[in-house]
Amino acid sequence: MSAVLPIVVVRGVVKVHAKDKAPVVAVSGIDLTLNPGESVALVGPSGCGKSTLLNLLSGVDRPDEGEVRVGGLNLARAKEHELVDLRRRVVGVVFQQFHLVPHLTVAENVALPLSLAGRRDDARVLALLERVGLVKRAGHYPGELSGGEQQRTAVARALVHRPALVLADEPTGNLDSAAGAAVLDLLDELRRETNAALLLVTHDAAIAARADRTVRMKDGRIVTMEP
């Protein structure tokens, strides 16, 4: 008997973009389960549907067919406010282009998921700034930081609210290998502390090898899962 409930359950999911124009079947019939604390690398050629799958898991997009459950919530049927709540409390996201808010300081960016949920935890924000080595830059703006520093800020922001699921879409794609390695180390350390599951999109075989499992997609489908 398994006592651990999966954080993600995806069953038979289909997502079609641009239904009114030239429809693109971005995801076609995916099954995937993620358990708490598990790290999974998502690999596959450009356009195979990786980002679409992440958007379905964060509740940004809804599936056209099938089932997506995150933290027990059925995202296909959830009300809009439930999806907003999911994004604020259950999911943390890191993007390739960092997506920091330019007119907020580093500390304010890190605190954003808390403030959006009506919470404040200065000690947690400071602890994360310490962990990512940016205490001295707390009052700076993203435009004053290097790419690596911006992404470390984004990692702190993605983990500050202790999400159960962390989604990272090519988080080192814009960084040199040293800065990228630092970002991945932090992402892994921080999410292990909270036993969060991680789904990480990457093109880099060495990065994929760090994960517990690798899921390979092609043409909107999962073609292999290792191990």
Ligand X SMILES: Nc1ncnc2c1ncn2[C@@H]1O[C@H](COP(=O)(O)OP(=O)(O)O)[C@@H](O)[C@H]1O
Q: Which residues bind ligand X (CB under 6 A)?
A: 17-18, 24, 26, 46-52
- Residue the block writes with tokens 């999410």: 191
* Token couple for 116: 């959006």
Helices (H), the chain: 50-57, 80-89, 106-116, 122-131, 147-159, 177-193, 205-209
- Residues found in the chain: 227
Scan residues 33-52 and list those touching Mg ion (CB under 5 A): 50-51
If you ran DSSP here, which 8-state letter would residue 22 be given? S
The alpha carbon torsion through 139, 144, 149, 151 (nearest 10 deg) reads: 100
If you ran DSSP here, which 8-state letter would residue 67 be given? E
* Beta-bridge mates of residue 10: 32, 68
Number of residues lying near Mg ion (CB under 5 A): 2
Q: 154 burial class (0-12, 13-18, 19+ CB within 10 angstroms)?
A: buried
- CB distance 186 to 155 below 8 Å: yes
Kindly tell me which of 110 and 215 has the beta carbon lying closer to ligand X: 215
Scan residues 104-123 and list those touching Mg ion (CB under 5 A): none
Kindly tell me which of 50 and 137 has the beta carbon lying closer to Mg ion: 50
Q: Which amino acid is at 152?
A: R
Q: How far is the CB of 213 from ligand X (least distance, A)?
A: 18
Q: How far is the CB of 99 from Mg ion (least distance, A)?
A: 14
Site map for Mg ion, 64-83, x if CB under 5 A?
A: --------------------
Q: How far is the CB of 16 from ligand X (least distance, A)?
A: 9
Q: How far is the CB of 49 from Mg ion (least distance, A)?
A: 8
Q: Which amino acid is at 43?
A: V
Kindly tell me which of 15 and 50 has the beta carbon lying closer to Mg ion: 50
Kindly tell me which of 114 and 207 has the beta carbon lying closer to ligand X: 207
Selection from ligand X, Mg ion, none that 41 binds (CB < 5 to 8 A by kind) is none
Kindly tell me which of 43 and 125 has the beta carbon lying closer to Mg ion: 43
Q: How far is the CB of 59 from ligand X (least distance, A)?
A: 16
Kindly tell me which of 50 and 152 has the beta carbon lying closer to Mg ion: 50
Q: How far is the CB of 71 from ligand X (least distance, A)?
A: 22
Give SS3 for 137. Answer: helix
- Residue ranges in contact with Mg ion by CB under 5 A: 50-51
